[in-house]
Structure 1
Amino acid sequence: MEKEYSKEFDVIFEEKDKNNHVSEKNQIFEADKTKKVVPEELQEINSHREIISKIAYLIGVKKIFFEYDNQSPQLEIFEELEQNKDARIIRNLCILRTTIERNFKFIKDAMKYEFKTLNTIDNKYIKEAITNLRDDDIDIVKYNKQKLSQYIIDINRLIAGHIFYCKNLFPDWIVWDYIKDLFLMPNGYTEKGTKAAMELYYPNVNKYPYKMYINWKNPKDEGNILYNDKKFLELLYQRNGDVFKDVSRVSDISSESKLNIKEFIQNGKIVDAICDCENSDPYMLASVFNNMNDSLTAKINKIILVDDQNTVKAWNIFDQLVTEIEIEHISTERVTKEKSLVDIVLTAKTCKEHYVNHVDSFILISSDSDFWGLINTLPDVEFLIFAEKEKFGHKMREIVESANIHYSYIENFYSGEVDIRRRVLLMEFRKAIEANIAFNVNDIFQKISNETRVNLSEKELEQFYNCYVKPMKIILNEDGGLNLELGNQK
């Protein structure tokens, strides 16, 4: 006899009669009105919604919630994924799983006392999901007397078997395992595991995104976790004992900040960007300039990097990361081990550029409050500050705001499609590997064929080369060592 789940959740997953009740959409959003105020830390950025829109589609969020307002999942992504068979399969399996969980007793009783099968249950979401899955060559319905808990196990197996095919929907800079695990019910191939999942889900249903089941450990009242990509990925990584740092991949500065930057650059006669490399991140800064409008980068005279021998190596290849603007790199030496000269050299260089080269506008890239003295002593110069939020203190923000100087946090700039950090890693890795395997295979083959005196004709040597040497592969073993595998060996 099938064991009862310890808690009942006898709510039918249907919209209410619109004559007597507000629609489900309005019920949810009326209840959440107080939560729709944009948090202060998000007001200065425009966070993207591409990732959360894909998650919302895959877990089965209804279409009516897409593009409900400018904080909802994006309808164009819904329409795009509707054309993807793998995405449709996962979506319909998730809808089926959640609907069964939310109506478990109702469905079980109908199967037990009315001799219903899953596809004849009076629930439009179940019927639609089954039909859609059949259209995609998956039939979940069993016509023998199958326990309802076994259906959930079967669905869990299908989700586990198909979720990998959705990996390419997400960018490779997101840890795929964190995304994948959202769809996998813990211990979900056993009745004990499905029971535990439901007992966690039932009392916490309002803490799940749009009330749809996902593997969300220890659900808390965190508002809508699919509010935007930044919030979702920060929470997702946190749940996995990790920290999401690549915020610039999912957000951009506010429209107001963009307008201020545009006006600053356009209004300047000669604009220099001058960077304190000790207090800046080369990767984030490269993203800022690479994703700036061409008409604005064309107006920037040059970027001056004031560097120290102990700063990040990436500053040495900055001109390979930002190619549209002239780069002047000043590397300072230390008089003593403890004392850097970057501040004084940057100050002197700024003054020289102003008085000798007549630069009237500077984008100052630094979070150091010491440069307020420089700004204050050049009243005829316009300044725009690019800083890092964690290093830019409250006192400095108050000072520049009172002086009507605009500042933007460089980590809030969208980093674009090209991932600078990965580009640098690949560039340096390729360089290091090539430096360590600088040999010519043709020369080696000629040398050993001479030394071994194998007495083969030129044609035979050529055939050997084409058969064994040309197809060779370099295999990376688990310890990081390289093994050579010659072709066609038997």
Structure 2
Amino acid sequence: MELNNEPIYKASQSKVSTVVAYLIGAKEDMFSYYSGDSMDIIEKLKENDDAIILRSLCNIRTNLMLHYQTTQESIYYFTNLDRQSYYEEDVKILRSKGIDIVKANCKVNTYIANINELIANRINNVKDFFPEWFKWEYIRELFVMPKGQKEDRIMAESKKFSANRNNYPYQRYIYWRPVEEGNILFNDEKFAMIIYRQHNEEFSDISKVTDASDVIKTDIYDFIQNGEKVMIVVDCENSDPIKLAGTLTQLNADELSKISKIELYDDKHTSKAWKYIGALTGIPVEHNVIERVKEEKSLVDIKMSVGISKAYFRDNVDSFIMLSSDSDFWGVISSIPDAKFLVMVEQSKCGPDILNAFKDNGTYYCYIDDFSTGNIKGFKNAILRSTLEEKVGSLVNIDTKELVNNIFRELYMEVDEAEKKNFYDKYVKKMTLAIDKDGMMTIKIPD
């Protein structure tokens, strides 16, 4: 099969923007243009009480601002929120969740103040719907009106909202400086850039908010399906484990199931994260750490070239997905013309000469940078936690019972086991780690 040799650019994601749109009360028919992943998120939000409650509270607050005078007059004539068409459905939803906001003889500003307090108290309940890489304080700020109990602030925000309604996403209230940017929730890239800019920051990690296009993914799936036996080979010196993790996460597991194994060719000076790749996928992983003969000379490229040749000639692997930005591997690619190669490169590390060689040879390549790394929180946390455990363990791996024996021995104190146990229980078992403002860690012994 002739594969597309031109890289196809990234596709924007709408995961964060979908959550915000749902929570602020955007009408459901507005979600129709979102992707399948976003629709899955919406279904999860619809099953979560905290999300449902927050959406209804935001809906009511927005409608109170939009229909301020009409609502106030209806209340004056004894028609409260639960009997007004703008609010009755959301009031009903809140009551079903044990929250009744309706009060007799309550003015609109008092309603808004009460709702502001409920939103401020409940917004953290939906924090887990947002990725860790997006600054939570920026998300929270969109929902929480500062000094939201004060009438002058409520009036100022209501006037600002009414005057700039078309510059608010889906014409729903959020706390922000309205600017003419179109729909800021169009996708995650646009949303992140605008929100960070509102805080005088530039959002630059585009890999968090974009993913490889469906064209790229389809070509990869076709490459796998057209191979008799497929293997992934990784040059760990010239690849990024986080980017590989993002790629494996974003590709369909069923499509990847035909891959026989992943071979990692590693060196002791590369990231320790490589040893955790196997936890991401059901594909068998062989992790080869290549010893050096001379300290200054790595043998990874040679060993990997030999490994590819053996896999082709001995193990009947005919199709290789290679991760490397090193042009030295052109030697093995060009030396086995009957083997099929799909090369994943990092754009910043791969020069035009090798890309032109790929094109001239009909070798398909794509940029691994195009795959989203915004959905690998579990992988990164597992690596960080394990490494922290390893580092801390080496610092405080102490036999505490032997420590107590040594203390009494060095002080020449002869005591019975009961007294030792009392000392152990009172001081040693209750020791804690303390970290000061400069990040220095000490062991704190109770008084």
What TM-score results when the alignment is normalised by the length of structure 1? Answer: 0.71
Matches within 5 A, 1:368-383: 375=333, 378-383=336-341
Instruction: Determine the structure 2 residue equivalent to 1:47.
Output: 13
Instruction: Determine the structure 2 residue equivalent to 1:388.
Output: 346
- 1:62 matched to 2:22? The reply is no
Query: Which secondary structure does the structure 2 equivalent of 1:322 belong to?
Result: helix
Unaligned runs of 5+ residues in structure 1 are 1-40
- 1:434 matched to 2:393? The reply is yes
- 1:219 matched to 2:219? The reply is no
Change (3 A) 1:106 1:300: same
The alignment-based identity, stated in percent, is: 30
- 1:168 matched to 2:128? The reply is yes
Change (3 A) 1:150 1:484: same
1:308: how far off?
A: 9.3
Instruction: Determine the structure 2 residue equivalent to 1:318.
Output: 274
Instruction: Determine the structure 1 residue equivalent to 2:4.
Output: none
Match for 1:126 among 59, 71, 87?
87
Letter in 2 for 1:325: V
How many residues align? The count is 433
Change (3 A) 1:456 1:295: farther
1:144-183 CA-to-partner distances (Å, cap 9, x unmatched) read 464x334333322221122122223434444322221110
- 1:449 matched to 2:414? The reply is no
Change (3 A) 1:119 1:83: farther
2:305, 2:332 within 8 Å by CA — same for their partners in 1? no
1:356-382 CA-to-partner distances (Å, cap 9, x unmatched) read 757643323234667667645653332
Range with greater deviation from structure 2 (253-262 or 211-220): 253-262
Query: Which secondary structure does the structure 1 equivalent of 2:383 belong to?
Result: helix
1:226-261 CA-to-partner distances (Å, cap 9, x unmatched) read 33445544544454425363736x665444433432
Query: Aligned partners of 1:144, 1:468: CA distance in 2, in Å?
Result: 60
Query: Which secondary structure does the structure 1 equivalent of 2:144 belong to?
Result: coil
- 1:288 matched to 2:247? The reply is yes
Letter in 1 for 2:13: S
Match for 1:477 among 429, 436, 446?
436
1:384: how far off?
A: 0.3
Cα RMSD (Å) of the superposition? 4.2
1:94: how far off?
A: 0.8
1:119, 1:127 within 8 Å by CA — same for their partners in 2? no
Query: Aligned partners of 2:176, 2:360: CA distance in 1, in Å?
Result: 45
Query: Which secondary structure does the structure 2 equivalent of 1:219 belong to?
Result: coil
Change (3 A) 1:82 1:381: closer
Instruction: Determine the structure 2 residue equivalent to 1:7.
Output: none
- 1:366 matched to 2:331? The reply is no
Instruction: Determine the structure 2 residue equivalent to 1:115.
Output: 76
Unaligned runs of 5+ residues in structure 2 are 1-6
Instruction: Determine the structure 2 residue equivalent to 1:421.
Output: 380
1:170-212 CA-to-partner distances (Å, cap 9, x unmatched) read 3444432222111012443434433443344334323322211
Instruction: Determine the structure 2 residue equivalent to 1:18.
Output: none
1:364, 1:384 within 8 Å by CA — same for their partners in 2? yes
1:319, 1:327 within 8 Å by CA — same for their partners in 2? yes
Query: Aligned partners of 2:45, 2:176: CA distance in 1, in Å?
Result: 23
1:12-45 CA-to-partner distances (Å, cap 9, x unmatched) read xxxxxxxxxxxxxxxxxxxxxxxxxxxxx99654
1:284: how far off?
A: 1.2
Change (3 A) 1:387 1:48: farther
Range with greater deviation from structure 2 (393-402 or 160-169): 393-402
Change (3 A) 1:95 1:42: farther
Matches within 5 A, 1:64-103: 64-66=29-31, 68-71=32-35, 77-78=41-42, 80-103=44-67
Change (3 A) 1:475 1:430: same
Change (3 A) 1:383 1:154: same
2:267, 2:290 within 8 Å by CA — same for their partners in 1? yes
2:404, 2:420 within 8 Å by CA — same for their partners in 1? no
Instruction: Determine the structure 2 residue equivalent to 1:190.
Output: 150
1:363, 1:386 within 8 Å by CA — same for their partners in 2? yes
1:237, 1:244 within 8 Å by CA — same for their partners in 2? no
Range with greater deviation from structure 2 (365-374 or 192-201): 365-374
Query: Aligned partners of 1:214, 1:175: CA distance in 2, in Å?
Result: 17
1:467: how far off?
A: 4.5
2:246, 2:376 within 8 Å by CA — same for their partners in 1? no
